[in-house]
Amino acid sequence: MELALAVALITAKVVIVTAILLILPIPLTWLERKIAGHIQQRLGPMRVGWHGVLQPVADGLKLLTKEDNIPVEADRRLFKLAPIISLVPPFVVFVAIPFGDSFSLLGAEITLYISDMNVGLLFIFAVAGLEVYGVIFGGWASNSKYALLGSLRCCAQLISYEIPMGFSVIGVVMLAQSMSLLDIVNAQADVWYVVYQPLGFFVFFVAGLAEAQRIPFDLAEAEGELGAGFHTEYSGMRFSFFMISEYVVMVTISVLCVILFFGGWNGFLIPLPPLIWFILKVGFFIYLFMWFRFTFPRYRYDQLMAIGWKVLLPLSLANILLTGLFIV
């Protein structure tokens, strides 16, 4: 009986988290358009609903009704499979991400996470790295030179920035003596790790921008050069899968920034519920992603690769050395 109850509870958590992640792109697209409008001194969406709040719903209905075109010379099986491969890993990552500590409800202990893995951080990096296969398959299967160039760019970019990103969190693991995200948050109850790891946070956040393929690192989709990059030939719901994946990755990087460097759900000064603190911090980083998109210009590709290998990688290695000296 207890096993059946535990399975039912985990299933309910998976369904709730998946539903929230699927719905999140709707308000985030509206918010991003509004932020873009105000930065550019215009109103943004205004026509569909109050202040254009229903515009993402209208866009979603449009994508649902659009014709699903597949190029004649495309590899049809890989072409159909690529958006799914790109979409699934960002969702699976949330199996290991906690949103808060446990609390009692009607005599039962409720946990705000699906699983507390003792190698949670390693699991996240391993699963998140699979997303690049969807990009590669999508670009190659399209049989289009623009899509292929976009997928090759994206592959090189993600592989290059995953290395400094992985090194940047080693300092956090050294301080917390654990790869469990729950342990990492609990270790920051007094002092957030951004105080001890400002260099590690800088490398992680910049690499996160590149991993999410957001401006100034969106070379895989450079509209002025490649049409739309690796998803040039996609339309309808297959195209929307790539877009949903991009927003979920952005949320994932924001959540990891909060958990690894900004104390997770641990607050300060103002007594707010832990979950509210967590949401506010994640919302701040999501806003940073959107703000940067409409503020910074896109790098050239040689600049992008130089930043990854010549700047971020040495900084991440230096951070490991300094953290070791600090601990000693």
pLDDT digits (tens, 9 = 90+) for 262-272: 988 888 888 88
* Angle, CA 127 vertex, CA 121 and CA 128 arms, to 5°: 85
**Same domain, yes or no: 153 and 187:** yes
Look over the chain and give the mean of its residue pLDDT values, rounded to a whole number.
86
Residue 293 lies in a domain: yes
**Judgement on whether residues 30 and 159 belong to the same structural domain of the protein:** no
- Residue 140's pLDDT is 87
Q: Residue 274, class by beta-carbon neighbours within 10 Å (0-12 exposed, 13-18 middle, 19+ buried)? A: middle
Tell me: do 92 and 61 sit in the same domain: no
Tell the residue number behind the tokens 């990492």, with chain if given: 184
Which domain range does residue 4 map to?
1-65
Question: Do 32 and 151 fall within a single domain?
Answer: no
Q: Is 109 helix (H, G, I), strand (E, B) or coil?
A: strand
Would you say residue 247 lies in a domain?
Answer: yes
Together in a domain, 79 and 219: yes
Distance CA 292, CA 39 (A): 11
Number of domains in the chain: 2
Beta bridge partners of 104: 109
Which pLDDT value is given to residue 254? 94
pLDDT 10s digits, 56-87? 888 888 888 888 888 888 888 888 888 898 88
Does the bond joining 216 to the residue before it have cis omega, within 30 degrees of 0? yes
Residue 318 shares a structural domain with residue 186: yes
Q: What is the CA radius of gyration of the chain?
A: 21
| 106 occurs within a structural domain | no
Q: Are residues 267 and 138 in the same domain?
A: yes
pLDDT of 28 higher than 80: yes
Considering the domain boundaries, does residue 256 fall inside one?
yes
Please indicate, yes or no, if residue 146 is contained in any of the structural domains. yes
Output the pTM of the full model.
0.90
Contacts of 99 (CB under 8 A, 6+ apart): 112, 113, 265, 275, 278
